[in-house]
Amino acid sequence: MDIQHQELLLAIAEVSATFVGFSGVVGVFRERNGKLEVRYQRHLLFQMITTGLSALALSVTPFLIAAFGFPEPLVWRISSGIYVFFSTLLTIRGIYQDCPFLWAGLDSVRTAKVLALVTTFVVGISILNGLGAFSQRASAIYLVSLFWTLGLSGFFFTRMVTFLQPPSQD
């Protein structure tokens, strides 16, 4: 694995760990009133932490696989397979958990559709990457999928911070 890939993977791990840390701080010090709003706050915090931790774990995965002596193309293929597994689980859980908040109007249906569509596309490309369809670009495909996961983590963090802002008193 070349040095550029290593540096990018470590940068993703650092940023995702930072997001997870900040989300914990924001989640502890800010609370909303109302049963549904508290559940939504917990949902956003959980989504933020799980996407952040998955970005962190998935950015370290190629290092762990490479430590077993696998050739670089196989490292990216195995890493993509692991990415597909965890992303699919988190997406299904996220959609299941998000439904009550969509119905209550706390989340935008349009935003949820866009996130689900892009995530499905990224997982589909990662499946092809895991099967060896992009042997020359396997590392780039894996890094793009990690950036998407990191972007989701940032989205949930932003959503959590903006939701937890005190209501304006005009």
Is residue 32 within 8 Å of residue 164, measured between CB atoms? yes
Give the CA-trace dihedral at 170, 43, 119, 148, to 10 degrees.
70
| Two tokens, residue 65 | 């696989």
137 in a structural domain: yes
CB atoms within 10 A of CB 28: 9
- Distance of alpha carbon 47 from its chain centroid, rounded? 8
124 in a structural domain: yes
Tens-level pLDDT at each residue, the chain (170 residues): 677 777 878 888 888 888 777 777 766 666 555 566 677 777 778 888 888 888 889 999 999 999 999 998 899 999 999 999 998 888 888 777 777 777 667 667 788 788 888 888 999 999 999 898 888 888 889 999 999 988 888 888 888 777 765 555 55
10 in a structural domain: yes
Cα distance between residue 153 and residue 170, in whole Å: 32
Q: Is the C-alpha dihedral spanning 46, 48, 49, 51 positive or negative?
A: positive
139 in a structural domain: yes
Question: Which residues, 6+ apart, have CB-to-CB distance to 131 below 8 Å?
Answer: 77
Nearest to 77 by CA among 141, 151, 19: 141
Cα distance between residue 53 and residue 32, in whole Å: 25
Give the number of domains in the chain: 1
168 in a structural domain: no
169 in a structural domain: no
Range of the domain at 9: 3-163
Q: Measure the CA angle with vertex 85, ends 130 and 22; round to 5°.
A: 115
| Two tokens, residue 72 | 């670089």
Question: Which residues, 6+ apart, have CB-to-CB distance to 27 below 8 Å?
Answer: 41, 42, 45, 160
Is residue 48 within 8 Å of residue 21, measured between CB atoms? no
